[in-house]
Each structure stands twice: as structure tokens, then as C-alpha cells.
Amino acid sequence: MKMKNIRRNIGNPICNLRNDSLLKNKQRNIGIFLLLFCLFECKKEISNSAAENLEPLSSDPNRQVRVQILWEKKNFPLEMELYEGASQRPVDLWATGTVKDLSEAPVSVKMEENDLYLKPGSKKRFVLVVKNTTNRDFYFFAAPHSMVPAEGSLGFKFKCLCINHAFYIPPGETWYRVVELRTGGEVMGKELKITHTLVGMDEARIQLYQKRIGTVSNED
């Protein structure tokens, strides 16, 4: 009986070591499983987020695109403003002119923010306005606009004022132009910034431009 107790006491440490080894292996396997599970879930979440950002807006009829109309200016001190069109005095797209008083222009209320909210497949017509409150003439033109982010520009069409043409504003008068922004059903993204650079023209540039216009008219 004494010999059996001795053998039992000798055998127990070996069993304990074996159990500890199995426990450590089990814990290590559980840790590896949890790590792989977390990596998989993170990858799935990133994929879902990317898919949501690229999801066509047409998939949700309640979603809209926020479009910011922005202006940069070079040698042009006057402000470009956005107005709603006058429903009682509808005019054609691209109608352009100058008036002595703003009340004579085909506009209603001023759009305080340069933000437009459009649903895919819709369009928004509005009026650009520049008030020349000085006693001098102003000639200006608009460089081709840029859209940011570029990958979100597909589906947008802005019928605006960057048409390789110079505009004239007499002293004390108000210039206006009817423009339109359209969105296609393939529009993706939630925000877009459209920026024009307005460039003022000096006398030399004006004379060169008028000479070119006269030459083109004679050729026609």
C-alpha cells in the first residue's frame, strides 16, 4: 500500500504538466480564433462602408446630393450671387442681359447659401447675378469649372457661363444669366463642389478680345 501511494505521488506531477500543456494549447487556439474573427469582422465592416459610399443615390429616392457652387476671382472685385428664377417671368435657359434695377431682372429671391440639393435625375434652374455698383465698366469671363471630388462628377451637367465668351457689365447696372444644373440617375456620392474662376479683363485684353470677335464675325 505504501508503494502504491509513492507511485501515485510520483505520477501526479506528470499529469499536471500534461494538463497544463493541454490548457495552454487550448488557450492559444482560442486566441488565434478570436484574432481571425476580429480581422474578418473588420474587413467586412470596411467593405460595407466602401460599398455604402459608392452606392448610387438612385437606390434611395429620399437621398439628395449637396452641390456647392463656389467662385474664385482674379482681377474681378464684384460678387457673383445666386437667385431663384421669377416664375411669373419665365425666360429661356442661357438668357443673359443687363438691367438698370434688379427688379427688372427675371429673378425672385436671393439664395442665401450657395448650396443646392438635387435628387438623381432632377434639374435645377436658377439665375446668376452680378451687381456693378461702381462707375466703371467691367468685362470678365469664366474659366472652365472644376468638380470635386472628380470621381463623383459623372452624371452632372452644368449649363453655366464658362463658354469661351466674355461678359460686359456697364456702370451701375446688374448683369444676369439663367443657368441650369442637371443630375443623371447614375450619380454617386453625397456631395460635390463646383468651382468657377472669374477673371477680370484689362483694356489690352478687352481690345484683343473685341478684335477677335470682329474678325470671327467678318469671317462668318
138-173 in b/e burial notation, b at 16+ Cβ within 10 A?
bbbbbeebebeeeebbebbebebbeeeebbebeeeb
Q: How many whole angstroms separate alpha carbon 215 and alpha carbon 98?
A: 25
**In the structure grid, which three cell numbers stand for residue 23, read together?**
490548457
Full pLDDT tens readout for the chain, 220 residues? 544 444 444 455 554 545 556 555 666 666 665 656 555 555 445 444 433 444 444 456 677 999 999 999 999 999 999 999 998 888 899 999 999 999 999 999 999 889 999 999 999 999 999 999 999 999 999 999 999 999 999 999 999 999 999 999 999 999 999 999 999 988 888 999 999 999 999 999 999 998 887 754 444 4
Residue among 217, 216, 200, 213 nearest 80 (CA):
200
Would you say the pTM of this structure is higher than 0.85? no
Q: Is 80 helix (H, G, I), strand (E, B) or coil?
A: strand
